[in-house]
Amino acid sequence: MNESAALASSSVNTAPLPNRIRRFNFWRYFWLSFLVVSLAYAWYCFYAPANNIVWVDNFVSAQKQSAITGKPILLYFTGKWCVPCRVMKRQVWADKEVEALVNAQFIPLSIDLDSPDNAELLTRYNVRGAPVVIVTDPLGNAMRWRAGGMGKSEFLELLREPKPLEGN
C-alpha cells in the first residue's frame, strides 16, 4: 500500500512540471531574442557603408591637385576607434548629395589620427581629437573648420559657407 501512496504522491508532484518547463522556455527565448537584438544593434552602430567620394592619397598630392584645379582641400581627420566618425560615415559621407558636392567642388583627404605619417598635419592644424573637418586653400591655409560629429545639414552648411574673402 505504501507503493500506491508513493505513486499517488509522485503523480501529484509532477503536475507543476509542465508549467515549470514553459516558464523555462519563455526565459530561454527571451534571452536568446535579447542577444540577437543586441548583436544586430552593435553591428548597426559600427557599420559604415562605403561611399563614392574620390579620396586623395596624401596631403602633397591634394595640394598639387588643388593648385591645378583651383578647388579647396577638404581635410577630414578621423580614427578607426572614433564612434562619431562612424556615425558621420553612415549619415553624412554616404549621402548622395554630399558625395556630389564634395566630388565636384573639393579635393577630399581623409587623415587617420593613428598613422605616424600624419603627425606633421596633426601638429600643423593643432588637431587633438576626431572628427575634425577643415577646408583649406591650395597652400594649406585653413579657411573654415568644425570639430566634433555633425549631421548632414550642418556639414553641408560648412561646405557652402562663403570663403572669408567673399564675405567682406
pLDDT (0 to 100) of residue 86: 86
Q: What is the DSSP letter of 58?
A: S
pLDDT (0 to 100) of residue 36: 92
Residue carrying C-alpha cell 573648420: 145
Per residue in 63-76, pLDDT (tens digit) is: 999 999 999 999 99
pLDDT (0 to 100) of residue 14: 53
C-alpha cell at 71: 578647388
Largest Cα span, the chain? 108
Per residue in 16-57, pLDDT (tens digit) is: 555 555 566 888 888 889 999 999 888 776 676 777 888 998
Distance (Å, whole) CA 72 – CA 65: 9
Domain ranges of the chain: 2-46, 59-162
Task: List CB contacts of 158: < 8 A, sequence separation 6 or more.
Answer: 133, 135, 144, 146, 150
Distance (Å, whole) CA 150 – CA 159: 12
CATH of domain 59-162: 3.40.30.10
Distance (Å, whole) CA 52 – CA 67: 23
Strand locations in 39-141 (E): 73-78, 107-112, 132-136
Q: What is the DSSP letter of 136?
A: E
Per residue in 101-152, pLDDT (tens digit) is: 999 999 999 999 999 999 999 999 999 888 999 999 998 899 999 999 999 9
Model confidence at 82, pLDDT cuts 50, 70, 90, reads confident
β-strand 73-78 against 132-136: which pairing, if any? antiparallel
- 96-105 and 152-160 helices, crossing angle to 10°: 20
Model confidence at 167, pLDDT cuts 50, 70, 90, reads very low
Distance (Å, whole) CA 84 – CA 150: 8
